Each structure stands twice: as C-alpha cells, then as structure tokens.
C-alpha cells in the first residue's frame, strides 16, 4: 500500500514500512536491482514499529493544535493513495473530535 508517491516514496508491504528517496543511494545490496539506473535508495522498518511511531506522532500533532492543518496538507499533497483515501473518509470527524 502506497502512502506517498514521488520523493519521498513511502509504502508498506504489510510487514515493513519502506521509506525511499529519489536523491540518495546508500548502496544497500538488496536494492541494486531497483537503483541500477538511478540514485534512489531507501530503508524498511517493521510496520509495527512504524505504527508505534505514528501513534506517538499523532498525539503530538493533536496536542500542538496542528491537526486540521496537517490533515489538510496531507490530503492536498497525497490524494489518491490508499492511506490518503482512508484519511479522507474520516478527516472531518477526526478534526472535529480531536482538535483543541
């Protein structure tokens, strides 16, 4: 499932969250097939760890009062991706219930 496309390109394979940049190559041997003709490179972390980070970061965004602006920015930049579609379906309810 893709969350963002472009630079950065962030997607999940159901087990790991993959974070890629179109502007760097760290020489990670598994990625050689993907980066033969570009400098793209990335890293993958366990999706469960990304979920834990996401919940903590979400709490910080809510506490800071920035939820509405972050939701609006996310939807405008990343519309059409799976995560963005899910956010769009509940965006108004989230902001209404959680924004200070």
What does the alpha-carbon distance between residue 42 and residue 54 come to, in Å, rounded to a whole number? 19
Chain centroid offset of residue 64 CA? 20
Question: What integer pLDDT is reported at residue 29 of this predicted model?
Answer: 47
Question: What integer pLDDT is reported at residue 26 of this predicted model?
Answer: 44
Residue 58 is part of which domain span?
Answer: 2-98
Greatest mean pLDDT among 3-12, 26-35, 39-48, 81-90 lies in 81-90
Has residue 51 got a pLDDT over 50?
yes
Mean pLDDT of the chain: 82
Number of domains in the chain: 1
- Overall average pLDDT of the 75-83 stretch: 87
Q: Which residue has the higher pLDDT, 83 or 72?
A: 72
For residue 8, the SS3 value is coil
């Amino acid at each position: 499932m893709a969350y963002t496309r472009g630079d950065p390109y962030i997607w999940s394979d159901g087990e790991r969250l993959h974070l890629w940049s179109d502007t760097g190559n760290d020489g990670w041997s598994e990625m050689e097939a993907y980066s033969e003709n570009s400098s793209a490179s990335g890293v993958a972390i366990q999706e469960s760890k990304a979920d834990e980070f996401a919940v903590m970061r979400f709490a910080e965004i809510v506490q800071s009062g920035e939820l509405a602006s972050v939701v609006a920015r996310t939807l405008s930049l990343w519309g059409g991706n799976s995560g963005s579609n899910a956010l769009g379906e509940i965006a108004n309810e989230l902001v209404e219930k959680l924004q200070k």
